[in-house]
Structure 1
Amino acid sequence: MMIAGFVPALFGLAVTVIVASMLKKKGTMVSAEEAVNEQEVDTSKYPPLKTAIVAPLVAVILLMINPIGSILNIDLLASFKVDAMFILPIAGVIGMLAMGKANKILDYSASGLNKMTATVLILLGAGGIAGLISNSDLSTQVVSIIEASGISGTFLAPIAGILMAAATASTSTGVILATGSFGEAILNMGTAPIAAAAMVHTGATVIDSLPQGNYFHVTAGSMNMSIKQRMGLVPYEAIVGGTMTLVATLLYGFFL
């Protein structure tokens, strides 16, 4: 699957560079006053890399145990099934202990929860939308429209990815929802599984950054952008995602 997405990704990268080059002089420019960091950050209290990396390293290792066991057919590792909801806090506590911040566990945990509240609410909303779609007849209606229009059934895969990612404002959730709701119909159209996966995945990148998703707000916040300014980027993101979708559809739906 990763190899199948490599060629579309190259085209997406090229288009990203082209679009970014065209837009670099447009929009609201960052002033010199905004660029200057008026408050010097005191880094003397920052932990060294060897202790700061403990938490993410522990999380990655714990999350990789099950996939590695499945790939290598090691039953002991494959049987290790712990949800990320438990692994991430455990890794965080271990990281704080490694950094010598055991007395700050409650303070840091409360700070993290406060920062994640808005994101959690957004994810709950996206999950609610996903639940409504998966329990509706939307997939049947979309398949009927495609059959009635007379266009190739190959287009069902990218269309499913586009629609589901737009509804949930999430690439990953959109792909999961598209495969769950449209998977059987896509394969019944005669599309190979790898080809279908590549087209659904690229389709889910077209309009996946919308206000009902957390990625939209994270990227806006990181650049101090208003909602209006962030919405202005959606068409350009769609150009990049649309390019990858077009390449994947032509490559795996018609040429290969």
Structure 2
Amino acid sequence: MDNSAMFSTLGAVIGLVVAIVLIVKNYHATYSLVIGALVGGLIGGGSLVQTVSAMINGSATMMSAVLRIMASGILAGCLVKTGAAAKIADTIVKKLGSKNALPAIAISTMIICAVGVFIDIAVITTAPVALAVAKKANLSKSAILLAMIGGGKAGNIISPNPNTIATSEAFHLSLNSLMAVNIIPAICALIFVALLTNAIKNKFHDYVTEEDLEMNADKKLPSFLQSIIGPVVVIVLLALRPLFNVVVDPLIALPVGGFVCLLVTKEFKHVADYSQYGFSKVIGVCALLIGTGTIAGIISHSNLQADMINLIGLLHLPAFVLAPVSGILMAAATASTTAGSTIAGRTFAQALTAANVTPLNAAAMLHAGATVLDSLPHGSFFHATGGSVKMSIKQRLQLIPYEALIGLVSTVVATIIYLV
């Protein structure tokens, strides 16, 4: 084997399977990925030196994304701890009214996620408001959780969140261009969420009780204008590049948005505490990305991408299909939008561009594809979202097919846009 393919496809796949099994067995995800990468490289025919070298090189490619994700923690921490995120959710739900409770909940979560709050935190933040509305409107936990997850998925593909940052890095794109290209798929997914939740709202009977309500009455929320200024500043700073060719990196724009949020809410004295909170929420993602880099290093130096391209050729499928399919499969393997889109991007970006698929379109399809099967039980998102509404694992499992449909809608729309 030459240096471009040091490992066999079988080794890479076995390594990924080992990592998945360890994650399912509740071993730490980062260590599971590192062990899987080591096993995959050795079984795939590489020496110990080659395997470790590929793992280290794979992790090294993640560092720019890790730095930007660490910076995004400041914005997320400020939005959550000042109450800005909760105020945004509360305002939208109140303005749309209880008759439109499910679409309102979905829109709230979408906006909170789109402005830079991680999807699991966006759901957890919206959950108290959603539970209170559900109690009044006699809606089930399943219906409101699906609305929150669906809205979060729609917002996640147009946000400066870890998955978007990692995907833009893999395809060497500006963050704002990738955020912008998936606006239409996100809107289509949101519309589908509204239709889907309305259609199934009477299917489940896990209704909200008084014990489920945990609204924090002691926290005085800022005004809606104060709450939205920080995210608007981030959007404006990122928009300077396409509008005026003034480059403000997300590494700068995201913390600045957080600091502005603190200034307008008059809570700058808490900058250290809120930044620490935000860091505590992203450190796990950063560690996961480092582990993801090790397995991505093995996969990118294996025959897997060539074999997948050959398989697509044998099935007479067009080359661009590799983008959404790789996103779907890798996100399912890792139960993570970020890890899935990162591995798929790092592994197949070069092959996709070599097949004359434009990097922006390839990234959009891959990124949307990573939201289809990203909430499987061997990932933390599954458990964090279920816990936000005090739902049992059995109840939570029932929502996975519906979540997959929502991700599939945005993926299909992203693919149609590419074809058009």
What's the TM-score, normalizing by structure 2? Answer: 0.45
Aligned partners of 1:123 and 1:214 also within 8 Å: no
Corresponding position of 1:34:
211
Aligned partners of 1:211 and 1:217 also within 8 Å: yes
Corresponding position of 1:87:
255
The residue correspondences of 1:17-166 to structure 2 (distance < 5 A) are 17-34=194-211, 41-43=217-219, 46=220, 48-49=222-223, 53=227, 57=229, 61=233, 65=237, 68=240, 71-74=243-246, 78=247, 83=251, 87=255, 91=259, 95=262, 99=266, 102=269, 112=277, 116=280, 120-121=283-284, 124-136=287-299, 137=302, 138-166=304-332
Cα separation, partners in 2 of 1:11 and 1:165, compared to 1, 3 Å: same
Aligned partners of 2:296 and 2:346 also within 8 Å: no
Consecutive unaligned residues of structure 2, counting only runs of 5 or more, are 1-177
- Measured against aligned partners, the alpha-carbon deviations of 1:17-73 in whole angstroms (never above 9, x if no partner) come to 332123212334224433566x87235xx36449974xx855764786466257423
Alpha-carbon offset, residue 182 of structure 1: 0.8
Q: Is 1:243 aligned with 2:409?
A: yes
Alpha-carbon offset, residue 97 of structure 1: 11
Alpha-carbon offset, residue 237 of structure 1: 1.0
For residue 135 of structure 1, give the secondary structure of its aligned residue in structure 2: helix
Consecutive unaligned residues of structure 1, counting only runs of 5 or more, are none
Equivalent-residue separation in structure 1 for 2:406 and 2:346 (angstroms): 25
For residue 207 of structure 1, give the secondary structure of its aligned residue in structure 2: coil
Aligned partners of 1:122 and 1:213 also within 8 Å: no
Alpha-carbon offset, residue 250 of structure 1: 4.2
Aligned residues: 240
Cα separation, partners in 2 of 1:154 and 1:95, compared to 1, 3 Å: closer
1:42 counterpart letter in structure 2: D
1:131 counterpart letter in structure 2: T
For residue 83 of structure 1, give the secondary structure of its aligned residue in structure 2: helix
Larger CA deviation: 180-189 vs 190-199: 190-199
Percent of residue pairs bearing the same amino acid type:
30
Q: Which has the larger radius of gyration?
A: 1
Aligned partners of 1:157 and 1:196 also within 8 Å: yes
- Measured against aligned partners, the alpha-carbon deviations of 1:144-192 in whole angstroms (never above 9, x if no partner) come to 3323333332311111221233344343553344333211212233334
Alpha-carbon offset, residue 129 of structure 1: 2.7
Q: Is 1:180 aligned with 2:346?
A: yes
